[in-house]
C-alpha cells in the first residue's frame, strides 16, 4: 500500500536532489566569480559533482522518510498530517544518519577535523530534505484523494 501511493516519490526524489544540488552549484560558482562565460566547463563539472552528492542525500532522505512513514502509519489509516510530519522527520534523520556515518569514516581515516562540519552540513541538508519530503508526500497524498 505504501509503495503504491509513494512510488512517484521513489522515482523522482534522486532527480529532485540532483537538480537542487546543481542549482546550488550554479549559484555558488556564479557568486564566486562573475566570469561564468569563461568558466563554462568548470560550472558543468561543479553541477555534476554537486548533483551526484545531492542524489545520494536524496536517497538517504527517501529511505529515512519511507521508514518513518512505515513506522508511523503502516496501513495508511492515520491523518495526512501524521504521514507528512513523519516523512519530514524521517528524511531529516536519514540525512543526519548519513552525515554521522561519513563523519565516522572521516575520523577513521585520520581526517577527524572535518567530522564536525560534516555533521553540521548534514543537519542543514536534513532540514532542506525535510521540507522537500513534506512537500512531495503532501502532493502524493493530494493526488491519492
pLDDT of residue 96: 97
List, for residues 19-50, the tens digit of each pLDDT value: 999 988 888 776 666 665 657 777 788 889 99
Residue 3 to residues 72, 102, 131, Cα–Cα distance (Å): 15, 29, 21
- The per-residue pLDDT for range 73-113, each reduced to its tens digit, is 877 778 889 889 999 999 999 999 999 999 999 899 887 78
Q: What is the pLDDT of residue 35?
A: 60
Neighbouring C-alpha atoms within 13 Å toward the C-beta of 107: 11
Q: Which three cell numbers stand for residue 38?
A: 569563461
Instruction: Map residue 21 onto helix, strand or coil.
Output: helix
pTM for the whole structure:
0.87
Amino acid at each position: 500500500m505504501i509503495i503504491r501511493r509513494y512510488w512517484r516519490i521513489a522515482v523522482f526524489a534522486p532527480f529532485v536532489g540532483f537538480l537542487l544540488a546543481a542549482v546550488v552549484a550554479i549559484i555558488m560558482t556564479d557568486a564566486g566569480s562573475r566570469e561564468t562565460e569563461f568558466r563554462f566547463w568548470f560550472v558543468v563539472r561543479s553541477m555534476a559533482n554537486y548533483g551526484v552528492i545531492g542524489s545520494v542525500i536524496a536517497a538517504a532522505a527517501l529511505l529515512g522518510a519511507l521508514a518513518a512513514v512505515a513506522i508511523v502509519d503502516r496501513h495508511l489509516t492515520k491523518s495526512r498530517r501524521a504521514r507528512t510530519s513523519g516523512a519530514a522527520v524521517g528524511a531529516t534523520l536519514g540525512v543526519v544518519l548519513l552525515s554521522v556515518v561519513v563523519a565516522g569514516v572521516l575520523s577513521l581515516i585520520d581526517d577527524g577535523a572535518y567530522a564536525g562540519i560534516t555533521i553540521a552540513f548534514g543537519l542543514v541538508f536534513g532540514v532542506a530534505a525535510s521540507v522537500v519530503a513534506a512537500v512531495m508526500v503532501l502532493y502524493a497524498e493530494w493526488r491519492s484523494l
